[in-house]
Amino acid sequence: MSDDAEVLLERDGSVATITLNRPERLNTISGPMLSQLAARLTEADADRGVRVIILTGAGRAFCAGLDLQTASGGTGIGSEGSGGSAGMGADFNMRNSPPIVLQQIDTPTICALNGGAAGYGMDMALLCDLRVAAESSKLAAAFTKRGIVPESGGTWVLPRMLGWSKAAEIIFTGRTLAAKECLELGLVNKVVPDASLMEEARALADEIAANAPLAVRASKRMMRNGLNEDFEDHVERVLLQLAPLFRTKDFREGMASFLEKRPPSFEGR
């Protein structure tokens, strides 16, 4: 892929790294980035050799939100002249937007949070399954300070993560949260020195990738379904999911490695 692409995809073994590549604009989201990011996420999820996706940003910020400079100039996202749904462009498909793709794909996602994540960037970080944050990183819920709402999933994910009252406090005030506070609230899984961010994110990805990929993907799918099911329906769905897993080569390998007291070697079959 060309280095001048606004979203890069690199695969190293069973881990794919997707990088927002607009560092001169703090990785603010342009119109082309929307379709590129959705396409790269979909591509990585469809690759059976990929067991974990890491999402990060080039330069000193993860993502400073939508590109409001071009929007205010009447040419970018949110402008009346850009056409299409909500000013996203004539070919914009809400059902294929990056936040929805992030929420729907079965491959585990880790946000390597390098620097600031504001607005749209904050929502994307929170929609990843796990977050490893650099010490200098911040989450900025600046929506109401800009006259908008969390348009990319924040009003859905924050109450589920924090409860109504705390989510309301953060969204209504438009507060910026430092990495340490994010950790205390449970918004990130760990905070690490800036210099070791990608190393720590990769170590977590490798730990997940060492497990049976079909079972990991199914577990994520069951967790996602469980958000909208009652307990009895969810238990029934999980039991139905067990049947095909019992027939996999990975299940047999998992049992054999346990009995033989050795590390398993899963193939995703």
102 and 70 both lie in a single domain: yes
154 and 26 both lie in a single domain: yes
pTM of the entire predicted model: 0.89
- The token duo for 5 is 């692409």
Burial of 148 (0-12, 13-18, 19+ CB in 10 A): middle
67 and 52 both lie in a single domain: yes
* Range(s) of the domain holding residue 221: 213-259
Q: How many domains does the chain have?
A: 2
152 and 102 both lie in a single domain: yes
- The token duo for 66 is 């939508």
Is residue 95 assigned to a domain? yes
Label residues 109-137 b or e (16+ Cβ within 10 Å = b): bbbbbbbbbbbbbbbbbbbbbbbbbbebb
Is residue 92 assigned to a domain? yes
What is the spatial distance between Cα 222 and Cα 241, in angstroms, rounded to a whole number? 9
3-state secondary structure of 23: helix
3-state secondary structure of 116: strand
Q: 115 with 136: CB under 8 angstroms?
A: yes
State the CATH number of the domain containing residue 190.
3.90.226.10
225 and 138 both lie in a single domain: no
pLDDT tens for the chain, 269 residues: list them. Answer: 555 699 999 999 999 999 999 999 999 999 899 999 999 999 999 999 999 999 999 999 999 998 877 555 554 555 443 333 344 444 456 677 999 999 999 999 999 999 999 999 999 999 999 999 999 999 999 888 888 888 788 999 999 999 999 999 999 999 999 999 999 999 999 999 999 999 999 999 999 999 999 999 999 999 999 999 999 999 999 999 999 999 999 999 999 999 999 999 999 99
